[in-house]
Amino acid sequence: MNGGHGRNSYANNSSLQRNVIDRSKTMIDEAIANHLDIQICPPSSSNTFRIADFGCSVGPNTFIAMENIIEAIDLKYRKSGSTPEFHVYFSDHTSNDFNTLFAYLPPGKAYFAAGVPGSFHTRLFPKGTLHVAHSSTSLHWLSRVPKEVLDTNSPAYNKGRILYTNAAHQVFEAYSAQFGKDIQAFLHARAEEIVCGGLMVLNVPAIRDQTPPSEFQTETFSIFWDLVSWTWPRR
């Protein structure tokens, strides 16, 4: 993503992604209240909750998402009589602008911060260390263009295009298979890293199962306009 804090930076052009985070807050509150099992899984002898944001990018969104999670855990945990501490790991590709990210950490933040560079399709944390794994509008990024799509001899060859709307069914199948491999790699890695009783919060842009490939673009735009119309009055 575009780093820095300029006019064209991700930090200043990510209000749609911000809406996704805002809209998921109530679900996160409920999930933490009802499913984060601190009885099975006390944070640790030092009372520290460890939360990671996978695909954090730069800008306010990741801070807002982490604060929402912390607030919900704090509310639940304080009822049991002790004061938790929080360690937040901001994770993204090594090329992410971590300098800008850290320069804009909220001054009064109620957590310790760390950066974790690397692909979320691989292991990034030791076994059984994370209490909450979060990722928002990032998991649709594929690790690579499927090789068949670039192979001129393959029925899935996409003639250099990056869209598969109106493309041969094999092109859609190739992208779909790549997403299958990538999400499996993500889930395998997180399965090792998350403590028992921990939680995963994933916001993934999607289209309905029954949508035919010819309507992918229309459906994607309708989700996009839904978010824009939700954003507009609030700006």
Is the CB of 62 or the CB of 68 nearer to ligand SAM? 62
Residue 218 CB, nearest approach to ligand SAM (Å): 22
Tokens of 14: 């990510």
Residue 223 CB, nearest approach to ligand SAM (Å): 14
Residue 144 CB, nearest approach to ligand SAM (Å): 10
Write down the residue that tokens 């099975």 correspond to.
Answer: 40
Q: Can you tell me whether residue 216 is helix, strand or coil?
A: helix
Which residues bind to ligand SAM, rule: CB under 6 A? 1, 14, 17, 21, 55-57, 61-62, 92-93, 96, 119-121, 136-138, 141, 143
Is the CB of 136 or the CB of 158 nearer to ligand SAM? 136
Is the CB of 57 or the CB of 100 nearer to ligand SAM? 57
Cβ-proximal residue to ligand SAM, closest one = 55
Residue 38 CB, nearest approach to ligand SAM (Å): 26
- Is residue 195 a contact partner of residue 42, using CB atoms and an 8 Å limit? no
Write down the residue that tokens 């839904």 correspond to.
Answer: 226
Is the CB of 121 or the CB of 131 nearer to ligand SAM? 121
Question: Strand runs (DSSP E) across 75-207, as ranges?
Answer: 85-92, 112-117, 130-136, 194-203
Give the Å distances, CA to CA, from 178 to 68, 146, 181, 210: 32, 6, 5, 20
Nearest-5° Cα angle at 141, 170 to 64: 150
In angstroms, rounded to a whole number, what is the distance separating the alpha carbons of residues 144 and 159?
Answer: 17
Q: Report the chain's terminal Cα–Cα distance, integer Å.
A: 23
Residue 217 CB, nearest approach to ligand SAM (Å): 19
Is the CB of 77 or the CB of 186 nearer to ligand SAM? 186
